[in-house]
Amino acid sequence: MSKDDVVLRVDNLVKTFGALVATDHATFEVERGTITGLIGPNGAGKSTLFNLISGFYEADSGSVSVNGTDVTGQEPYEIADHGLIRTFQTPRKVEGMTVREAMLVGPRNQPGESFLKLFTAPGEVGEAESKNMDDVNRILEEFEIDHLATQPATKISGGQMKLVELARAMLSEPEILLLDEPAAGVNPTLRNKLAEQIRRLNEQGTTMLLIEHDMEFVMSLADPVIVLDQGSVLMEGRPDEVQSDTRVIDAYLG
Ligand SMILES: Nc1ncnc2c1ncn2[C@@H]1O[C@H](COP(=O)(O)OP(=O)(O)OP(=O)(O)O)[C@@H](O)[C@H]1O
């Protein structure tokens, strides 16, 4: 793979918790334009890997690069500025806000977040905020969830919240989006909607790295699929190759 084709490179990452090696020299690349699946039995180290890649955990050793830039040791917001955005298994609490307000929390590079700018460049702040509002309204429509805009964010279903999380992540215009179990606890109708949206975003150019326990969901969306076992990469291949590999079957039954 040429350097330009790789959005994310994970090289020999190690993370220990006391005597437990949660990430054991994990090494892989995510090719631009793909939906790459990341699967593995419970405790294989998938969430730890996401936390390391997105800067929420510090690695003991190894490196992470995004778009050819070494981001090892950077803070999550710095890594986000390089175009890597993640969602969480359990969406963050947004009490007291409508869905539209929750969407507005935390888009990247928002000048309103800098108090100084309120005094030095108030016009810029106003413009940025109205652009954010336009972006939120456009994305709510694209995700076909504009009817939820004025609902209290805590009153919508878990599945709808997952759609809102995905929509909110897209406000940052990521080059690579890390999705942590988007289908978990979501009913079949909304799961299909989520899959449709993930496919649409990918066709429009967003590369994805997808952790998912629902095999049907991940195998119908992802290619390639990386299998993690005991903190390291066991294999990588097309969904059909992974599903029939005896090492993978053993790891799951193990
Ligand atoms: N903060 C932590 N402190 C101590 N041990 C941890 C911590 N986070 C994860 N672990 C341990 O590291 C190992 C990998 O956990 P991790 O959550 O990354 O696996 P996973 O593949 O995401 O599992 P699951 O599919 O069940 O979510 C497990 O043994 C877990 O108990």
Q: Which residue has the tokens 């993370």?
A: 15
Band of the pLDDT at 110, cuts 50, 70, 90? Answer: very low
Where along the chain do its domains lie?
3-92+157-253, 94-153
Q: What local confidence, expressed as pLDDT, does residue 90 receive?
A: 75
Q: Which residue has the tokens 């888009």?
A: 107
ipTM score over 0.95, yes or no: yes
CA of 46 to the centre of ligand 1 (A): 8
Of 51-55, 129-133, 138-142, the range with the lowest mean pLDDT is 129-133
Of all residues in the chain, what percent carry a pLDDT higher than 90? 55
Q: With 70 as the cut, is the pLDDT of residue 238 above it?
A: yes
Please work out whether the CB of residue 39 comes within 6 Å of at least one atom of ligand 1.
no
Phi-psi region of 62 (alpha: psi -120 to 50; beta: other; left: phi over 0): left
Stated pTM of the model:
0.87
For the segment 16-48, what is each residue's pLDDT rounded down to a tens digit?
999 999 999 999 999 999 999 999 999 999 999
**Cβ neighbours of residue 197 closer than 8 Å, sequence gap 6 or more:** 143, 163, 166
Q: What are the backbone angles phi and psi of residue 157, rounded to the nearest 5°?
A: -75, 165
**Average pLDDT over all residues of the chain:** 87
Please work out whether the CB of residue 46 comes within 6 Å of at least one atom of ligand 1.
yes
CA of 72 to the centre of ligand 1 (A): 20
- Tell me how long the chain is: 254
**Among the four given CATH numbers 3.30.470.10, 3.40.50.1470, 3.40.50.300, 3.40.50.1370, the one describing domain 3-92+157-253:** 3.40.50.300
Averaged over 228-243, what is the pLDDT? 95
Band of the pLDDT at 123, cuts 50, 70, 90? Answer: low
